[in-house]
Amino acid sequence: MILMRHGQIRANKVGRWHGSTDSPLTWKGRRQATRTGRHLFRSEEIHAVYCSPMVRCRETAELASRHFELPVMAVDGLQEMSIGQWEDMTFRDLVNEHDFMQRSVADPNFRAPGGESLNQVALRTTAALRHIESLHEPEETVLVVSHGVAMAVALASFLDGSCTRWGEYHFNNCGLTDLLLSPEPVVERFNQHAHL
């Protein structure tokens, strides 16, 4: 499968956490998704397209898969990590006021008030990706449009056996990552974004 992070949203520009906060792509985000779609059409044979149900992922998936003329299927398990009452805070304030990242890494069951833990995100994202894999033949390629933290948590879980290593996987907007899950999880290309 080809993992793709959604295009730019305003929160990305200003450094705010939008997990369960739904927001549309910026003009630049739409352009990123369109360029990525042209790149994929020239270089890949895509058999199916899946995305998080969030608006930014739906828009990205639709723009990126336009040339393939495939339906975009939303999968709830691909949603971004929710941090509940701390949504829309800046990353700086999350660190300075709540020590959020460090606390999450130290205890993968730690949750922001009303939010999710890393373990919860790991369970649902890895299950969603395994389910998508089960729907296709080994020779088929699928595009999966999701979010930076959700995909980082999934990769850390698959590759390192620990969701707490999610900080080692940074995804640019519309960056592409090739993930094979069977027989063992392996990444063949990580966060490729030269097409942008």
Residues 6+ apart with CB under 8 A from 122: 108, 153, 154, 156, 157, 163
Measured CA to CA in angstroms, residue 135 lies from 47, 50, 78, 132, 151 at distances of 11, 12, 16, 5, 19
- In single-letter form, the type of residue at position 47 comes to H
Task: Please report the pLDDT score of residue 121 as a whole number.
Answer: 98
Task: Please report the pLDDT score of residue 36 as a whole number.
Answer: 98
Give the predicted TM-score (pTM) of the model.
0.96
CB 5 within 8 A of CB 148: yes
Task: Please report the pLDDT score of residue 165 as a whole number.
Answer: 96
Cβ-based neighbour number of residue 152 at 10 Å: 24
Domain residue limits, the chain: 2-192
Residues in the chain with pLDDT < 50? Answer: none
Task: Please report the pLDDT score of residue 150 as a whole number.
Answer: 98
Residues 6+ apart with CB under 8 A from 96: none
Q: Rounded to whole angstroms, how far apart are CA atoms 33 and 172?
A: 12
- In single-letter form, the type of residue at position 143 comes to L
pLDDT digits (tens, 9 = 90+) for 1-18: 999 999 999 999 999 999
CATH number of 2-192: 3.40.50.1240
Nearest Cα neighbor of 141 from 69, 55, 58, 40 is 40
CB 177 within 8 A of CB 83: no
Cβ-based neighbour number of residue 20 at 10 Å: 16
